[in-house]
């Protein structure tokens, strides 16, 4: 959300509201964030509890009212967010903007479609803000490292997934031919579903081969699935090790920067100013 | 398929058809590839959908006709491929040649053996061409890296698989002796099947030990299976790291090549000509 | 328990008991430790066996008496431990102090709450002492290495767990909406439970999607769960490799220390005195 | 079996039989090995097939006779092995000596204990000889590498296993208290069995928690089990990488040896003689 800015030359109240809602470094901003996350977690818990029959029978009407209170609060918050940013459309179509919208829509939809209010649980995605709120450089840095490693492995993982999908379609069809409907393989898509359940070692057991030949083939798929878990694991481990090495290099080269004013070294990788004399750092 | 060449001194139409069907760098060739892959995916989807009882009841005859249309189209394509390559037998026995053949055979077989048309799903293997069509150096490179790591680990993986098979036979027989038929262990092969289901952590639950002693042995097998997944994963990770290191060395040594004409360095590993002056590169 | 000291200027019997109970390097201390661990294991085995209906029917009263004997012995030992340390409150609130207390409480509680005596199995935690008793530098060193790697990966693992929990809540709710009660998805919490069972590839099969759409979504979750196991594995592998590297560096730098008296090198990393002349080592 | 030698000064026939049975580098020795392994595999297959009810009904008497033929052949072989080695007791108590004995005992036992002949499947362990027969340096080398990595990780794996066992005992007892007999948790050992089934992600589903609290605890165990698979995997990966590095160093230092006669370098790590001039190599 680096591209979401408070409007320049705006009415002072807008700038103030912006600081409270979007920023995390003032006491008011922090209090708002903590309250918001608590409200999100409570509202998700209410939806989850409400879906339990016995709980709903006792607290249904309370929960109903609570859901509407939360939804109206979040709607007001959403409108404020739209109102105080420089370019509302930018925010509306950003990841968090969409999550904020989808976090309130289901309750309104439930007026039209019964049951729709359960979709509200995607509200849980709002909790992802927690990382930004905590402002823990560690979390951000570590998440970035994981993301970089995943990004670097994307082609290899695509090759792996494509191969897995091909295997699963072929094996699922074979089992459909071998086992047939009485063992639960009523169609090829069900066979493919079974193959995925087996290859990933989930193994529900709702569909399982009955004939010796089917079981022999299933055994091959299991050993294959057991073995090829090594592939994504190996890919990710290696990419993560590479990302680690790069970060270390970057850090040590960043630490080598010399302050032009006081001549000291040993700055943190992300510091833009000398921590001893305050002069701006270069490079 | 580097060894499949257009026939030299052939009729011009053969050379032209060859370029459209086998090559991917002309607009006509690209269009053909995209159409072919779309046709393959649609035809596989039709076979899968056709196997679902309720769908078959409604669209059965349409699907039946669609299958024949696809099969005839793929047959024509197969014959063209045979006709335009330099050595048809070479193509016919190559991996893709066999896949292309098996992609049409099942439909013809279904005239003799009912149900045989479902084998058509191996047609999905034709989609593997997609990697060649996309001509994404990344995909090819990454797939090669994975393949090299798998190839380098083949002896270690054989040792591992052999040990797993021995364990599984011994454990399956023991459980057969301990548990007997009432727990589902009706024979040693079924016991071995159970041992594979358990060791690979799939765990269907269709066969499960009932006696305390059988369960104790099963617990040992589970912990063993849980632990030894570390073996193929470790093997592959290490081999992949080695393959990575080799690629990096190869790339950096390739980048060190000096153009004999302009004297510049920094060429890509796969470039045969200097990218600044066009002179051929050596080494 | 480095901070638990024998009281200075204490009655000689207290110092002697302290050495037997808390230290492991005298013959009496060793004998006490071996006896203690044997008693712990036997008492846990008794509790476990006692919970089996048929065993309880035959040996119930013997086991009952055995439990009380062990509990009274452990209580006496606990009181001795409290009595001979320098600062009893320090011991009482240390990890082992609490474990020692919880190892006897359940039997007394069982007088008030029937069934409570099974909680006694946490007594098994006392066996963790075994590592300290064995005084195997290897075990301690290796456990430390694992702990350091886990500690270094804590932020990354928190990010991973948080993402997994978010996925599981969203997917569980979706399946609840899609499948409904007849497939076992009677509430969102049950859906989340199912999502965890599936994502972790446990796959009981007590709840499983029945509709094609639910199964398709489940297939995606399975492949996701199958793939993202790579994430914690990669994280831990890399951190462990880093911890390894650091230990090796530390060891080789420690071995480089020169004895000020005899001038020799090659000391162990943890030796504080020269092993050739006995002079204290620095650094 | 490096310590099993042909008796010196023995009757010539004993030396000859020794070479055929124990060694693998003469044509007769190779032919014997291939025949032996074929006989082992066939005899194990017979036992496995014999345990299948329908197969036994048809071929039972043939199989019965085949088992006795194999057993008598293997007994003769065992007696010959005992007869031609230098120190029979040494062979009799070696790993392969015991396997050879246990490979024939069950059939004799079956005269006393019905069903005992199925124990014969441990005969499959004799197939392990295959590695020695194949004399493939690769297999031996790779197996050694895996073994060294496993050996180096033994302390860390012991720490890991001990922790897992402690967790499993505590969790199994808790679930026994929470769920009770109606959910299948009829005793603490069964609870521990369930905990192992769940933690290792096998998940049969024959015992599964029914209460919300039990399911919540189970969910924690699953996520724990899903995550801590990273620990043995990480340990083994790192140890394997270390073993790799050591082998590479050893190889490159071995290749640096200079032949004292011809002065050449580049010898294989395991060559004791110069491959160019035949002079013995040192170091």
What pLDDT is stored for residue B196 in this prediction?
92
Please state, in angstroms and rounded to a whole number, the distance separating the CA atoms of residues A18 and B171.
Answer: 66
Q: Where is average pLDDT lowest: A261-265, C16-20, D198-202?
A: A261-265
Cross-chain residue pair A118–C156, CB shorter than 8 Å: no
* A238 contacts B233? CB cut-off 8 A: no
Name the strand (E) or helix (H) holding C234.
Answer: helix C230-255
DSSP bridge pairs for A273 = A280
Q: Which residues does D contribute to its contact with A (CB < 8 Å)? A: 201-205, 233, 237
Instruction: Tell me the mean pLDDT in the region A31-44.
Output: 84
Tell me the C-alpha distance between D37 and D126, whole Å. Answer: 8
DSSP D229: T
Confidence grade of residue C118 (pLDDT, cut at 50, 70, 90): low
Q: Is the pLDDT of residue A281 over 50?
A: yes
CA-CA distance, D50 to D118, in Å (whole number)? Answer: 9
Q: Residue D206 and residue B208: Cβ atoms within 8 Å?
A: yes
CB atoms within 10 A of CB C2: 4
Mutation target for C interface from D234, D243, D245: give the one with most C CBs within 10 A. Answer: D234
HSE-CB of B83 using CA atoms within 13 angstroms: 13
How does the average pLDDT of chain D come out, rounded? 79
Buried b (16+ CB within 10 A) or exposed e, C190-201: bbbbbbbbbbbb
Cα torsion B191, B192, B193, B195 to 10°: value is: 90
Chains in contact with A, where contact requires at least 3 CB pairs less than 8 Å apart: B, C, D
Burial of C91 (0-12, 13-18, 19+ CB in 10 A): buried
CA distance D142 to chain C (A): 21
CB under 8 Å, gap of 24 or more: what pairs does D60-64 form? none
Closest-approach residue (CA) in chain C for D217: C193
Q: Mutation test of the interface with chain C: which of D161, D169, D228, choosing the one with the most C Cβ atoms within 10 A?
A: D169
Tell me the C-alpha distance between A37 and A44, whole Å. 11
> What angle do the packed helices C212-228 and A188-199 form, to 10 degrees?
20
Quote the CA–CA distance of A207 and A197 in Å, as a whole number: 9
Residue B219 has what pLDDT? 92
Whether D46 shows a pLDDT value over 50: the answer reads yes
Q: Which residues from chain B sit within 8 angstroms of residue C202, using beta carbons?
A: 203
pTM for the model: 0.81
Burial class, A265, CB count within 10 angstroms (exposed 0-12 / middle 13-18 / buried 19+): exposed
Would you call A237 and C242 a contact, using CB atoms and an 8 Å cutoff? no
**Chains A & C: contacts with CB separation below 8 Å:** 137
Question: Are B20 and B36 a contacting pair, CB within 8 Å?
Answer: no
Q: Considering only alpha carbons, which residue of chain B is nearest residue A215?
A: B193
Measured CA to CA, the distance from residue A262 to residue A279 in angstroms comes to 8
Residue B222 makes CB contacts below 8 A (sequence gap 6+) with B198, B199, B201, D196, D197, D200, D202
The three-state DSSP-derived secondary structure of D191-220 is HHHHHHHHHCCCCCCCCCCCCHHHHHHHHH
**Percent of the residues in chain B that have a pLDDT greater than 70, as a whole number:** 78
Q: Do A205 and D201 touch (CB under 8 A)?
A: no
And the tokens for A262?
């006081």
> What DSSP designation does A164 have?
H
Instruction: Say what the pLDDT of residue A101 is.
Output: 84
Check residue B272 and give its pLDDT: 67
The pLDDT assigned to A117 comes to: 64
Residues belonging to chain A with any Cβ–Cβ distance to chain B shorter than 8 Å: 155-156, 158-160, 162, 166, 169-170, 173, 176-177, 186-189, 192, 198, 201-205, 208, 212, 215-216, 218-219, 222-223, 225-227, 229-231, 233-235, 237-238, 241-242
CA distance B56 to B47: 10
- Is residue A261 scored above 70 in pLDDT? yes
Count CA atoms closer than 13 A to B51's CA, side-chain side: 29
Which tokens go with A42? 């409570």
Which residue has tokens 């008497």?
D61
Give the span between the Cα atoms of D231 and C153, in whole angstroms: 12
Q: Chains that contact B by 3+ CB pairs under 8 Å? A: A, C, D
Is pLDDT of D210 > 50? yes
Using a CB-CB cut-off of 8 Å, the residues of chain C touching D189 are 48-49, 51-52
Phi, psi of B241 (to 5 degrees): -60, -40
pLDDT reading at B3 higher than 50: no
How many contacts (CB atoms, under 8 Å) link C and D? 138
- Report how far residue D103's alpha carbon sits from residue B214's, in angstroms, rounded to the nearest whole number: 23
pLDDT given for residue D240 in this prediction: 86
Q: Which of D158, D159, D203 sits opposite C197 (nearest CB)?
A: D203
Q: Where are the alpha helices (DSSP H) in A23-128?
A: 27-50, 53-84, 88-92, 95-102, 105-112
Query: What gap in Å lies between CA C203 and CA B86, rounded to an integer?
Result: 53
Instruction: Write B93-99 long-range contacts (CB < 8 A, 24+).
Output: B94/B1, B94/B4, B96/B1, B96/B126, B96/B129, B99/B125, B99/B126, B99/B128
Cα separation values, A221 from A163, A188, A195, A228, C59, Å:
13, 16, 8, 10, 47
Q: Which of D164, D202, D241 comes nearest B201 by C-beta? A: D202
Per residue in D81-125, pLDDT tens?
888 888 888 888 887 788 888 888 878 877 777 766 666 666 667
Residue A40 Cα, gap to closest chain D Cα (Å): 21
pLDDT per residue over D229-269, tens digit each?
888 888 888 888 888 777 777 766 666 667 777 777 666 65
Rounded to whole angstroms, the Cα distance separating D95 from D92 reads: 8
pLDDT value, residue C49: 86
| CB B186 within 8 Å of CB D144 | no
Question: Distance, in angstroms, between B126 CA and closest chain A CA?
Answer: 10
Is the model's pLDDT at A54 over the cut of 50? yes
Residue A189 to residue A211: CA distance in whole angstroms: 20
For residue C133, is pLDDT > 70? no
Q: Inter-chain contact B233–D235, Cβ cutoff 8 Å? A: no
Question: What's the average model confidence in pLDDT over C181-196?
Answer: 88
Which residues face B280 on adjacent strands?
Answer: B273
- Report residue D234 CA to chain centroid gap: 23
Cβ-nearest to D233 among B156, B159, B233: B233
pLDDT number for residue C2: 43
- Report, as an integer, the average pLDDT of D202-216: 88
- The per-residue DSSP string of C62-110 comes to HHHHHHHHHHHHHHHHHHHHHHHSS-HHHHHTSHHHHHHHHTTHHHHHH
More confident residue, A221 or C253: A221
Per the model's pLDDT, the better-predicted residue between B221 and D100 turns out to be B221
Proportion of chain C above pLDDT 70, given as a percent: 78
Return mean pLDDT, chain B: 79
User: pLDDT per residue over B183-192, tens digit each?
Assistant: 888 888 899 9
**B33 with B96: CB under 8 angstroms?**
no
Shortest CB distance from C205 goes to which of B205, B233, B237?
B205
Query: Which pLDDT value is given to residue D118?
Result: 65
Cβ contacts of C21 within 8 Å, gap of 6 or more: C29, C32, C77, C80, C81, C84
Distances (CA, A) of D283 to D248, D252, D253: 17, 13, 10
- Is C187 within 8 Å of A131 when comparing Cβ atoms? no
Torsion angle, CA of B160/B165/B171/B175, rounded to 10 degrees? 140
Burial of D25 (0-12, 13-18, 19+ CB in 10 A): exposed
Predicted complex ipTM exceeds 0.90: no
Instruction: Using CA atoms of C268, C269, C270, C273 in order, give the dihedral in degrees to the nearest 10.
Output: 50
Cβ contacts (< 8 Å) between C237 and chain B: which residues? 237
Residue of A nearest to B124 (CA): A166
Joined together, the tokens standing for residue C63 give 């086991």
SS3 of A280, please? strand
CA D139 distance to own-chain centroid: 14
Answer yes or no: do D200 and B223 touch at CB < 8 A: yes
Q: In the complex, which subunits touch D with 3 or more CB pairs below 8 angstroms?
A: A, B, C
Nearest beta carbon to residue B203 from set C203, C233, C237: C203
CA nearest neighbour of B203 among A178, D225, A222: A222
Helix/strand/coil for C280:
strand
Could you tell me which residues of chain B have a Cβ less than 8 Å from any Cβ in chain D? 155-156, 158-160, 162, 166, 169-170, 173, 176-177, 186-189, 192, 198, 201-205, 208, 212, 215-216, 218-219, 222-223, 225-227, 229-231, 233-235, 237-238, 241-242
β-partners of residue A280 are A273
Distance from C-alpha of A39 to C-alpha of C174, rounded to nearest angstrom: 22
Nearest Cβ partner for C233 among B202, B205, B233? B233
Closest CA to D259 of D281, D231, D283, D235: D281
B273 forms bridges with which residues in the sheet? B280
3-state helix, strand, coil in chain C (%, to 5): 75, 0, 25
Please say whether the beta carbons of D53 and B176 come within 8 A: no
Residues of A contacting chain D (CB within 8 angstroms): 201-205, 233, 237
Asked if residue D1 has pLDDT above 50, the reply is no
Range among A125-139, A143-157, A200-214, B1-15 with highest mean pLDDT value: A200-214
Per-residue pLDDT, A130: 60
Report d(CA B104, CA B77) in Å as an integer: 10
The pLDDT value recorded for residue B51 is: 81
Residue D4 confidence (pLDDT): 57
Mean pLDDT of A9-20: 78
Residue whose token pair is 């998805």: C185
Query: Which two three-digit tokens encode residue D127?
Result: 């197939």
User: What's the rounded Cα separation, in Å, for the pair B94 and A55?
Assistant: 64
Is the Cβ pair A202, C225 closer than 8 Å? yes
pLDDT at C173 over 70: yes
Using pLDDT thresholds of 50, 70 and 90, give the confidence band for residue B122. low
Residue-level pLDDT at C194: 92
pLDDT at C214 > cutoff 50: yes
> Does the beta-carbon distance from B48 to A189 stay under 8 Å?
yes
pLDDT of residue A150: 82
User: What is the residue whose two structure tokens read 């409604």?
Assistant: B58
Would you state the pLDDT for residue C196?
92
**What is the rounded CA–CA span in Å between residue C8 and residue A142?**
48
Quick: pLDDT tens for A102-153: 888 878 887 777 766 666 666 667 666 665 555 545 566 677 777 888 888 8
- Range D14-21 average pLDDT: 82
Distance to chain A for B103, nearest Cα, Å: 12
Q: What is the structure's pLDDT at B271? A: 65
CA distance A267 to B108: 73
The alpha-carbon gap from D229 to the nearest alpha carbon of chain C, in Å, equals 7
CB contact under 8 A, B169 and D196: no
Of residues D15 and B197, more confidently modeled: B197
pLDDT in tens, B64-79: 888 889 889 989 988 9
Are B243 and B149 contacting, i.e. CB atoms less than 8 angstroms apart?
yes
pLDDT of residue C116: 64
Question: A257-261, B85-89, C145-149: which range is least confident on average?
Answer: A257-261
Q: How many CB atoms lie within 10 A of CB D102?
A: 15
Checking if the pLDDT of D76 tops 80, the result is yes
């Amino acid at each position: 959300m680096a591209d979401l800015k408070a409007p320049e030359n705006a009415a002072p109240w807008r700038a103030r509201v912006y600081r409270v809602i979007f920023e995390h470094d003032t006491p008011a901003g922090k209090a708002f964030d903590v309250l918001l996350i608590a409200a999100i977690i409570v509202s998700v818990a209410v939806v989850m509890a409400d879906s339990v029959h016995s709980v709903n029978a006792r607290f249904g009407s309370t929960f109903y009212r609570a859901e509407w209170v939360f939804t109206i609060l979040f709607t007001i918050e959403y409108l404020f967010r739209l109102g105080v940013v420089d370019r509302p459309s930018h925010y509306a179509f950003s990841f968090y903007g969409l999550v904020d919208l989808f976090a309130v829509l289901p309750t309104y939809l439930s007026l039209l479609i019964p049951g729709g209010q359960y979709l509200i649980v995607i509200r849980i995605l709002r909790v992802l803000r927690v990382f930004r709120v905590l402002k823990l450089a560690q979390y951000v840095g570590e998440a970035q490292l994981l993301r970089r490693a995943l990004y670097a492995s994307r082609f290899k993982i695509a090759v792996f997934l494509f191969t897995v999908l091909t295997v699963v379609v072929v094996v699922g069809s074979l089992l459909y031919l071998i086992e047939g409907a009485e063992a639960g393989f009523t169609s090829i898509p069900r066979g493919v579903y079974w193959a995925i359940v087996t290859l990933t070692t989930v193994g529900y057991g709702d569909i399982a081969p009955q004939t010796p030949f089917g079981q022999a083939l299933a055994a091959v798929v299991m050993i294959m699935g057991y073995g090829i878990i090594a592939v994504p694991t190996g890919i990710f481990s290696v990419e993560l090790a590479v990302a680690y090495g790069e970060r270390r290099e970057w850090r040590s080269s960043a630490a080598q920067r010399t302050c032009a004013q006081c001549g000291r070294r040993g700055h943190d990788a992300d510091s833009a100013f000398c921590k001893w004399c305050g002069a701006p750092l270069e490079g």
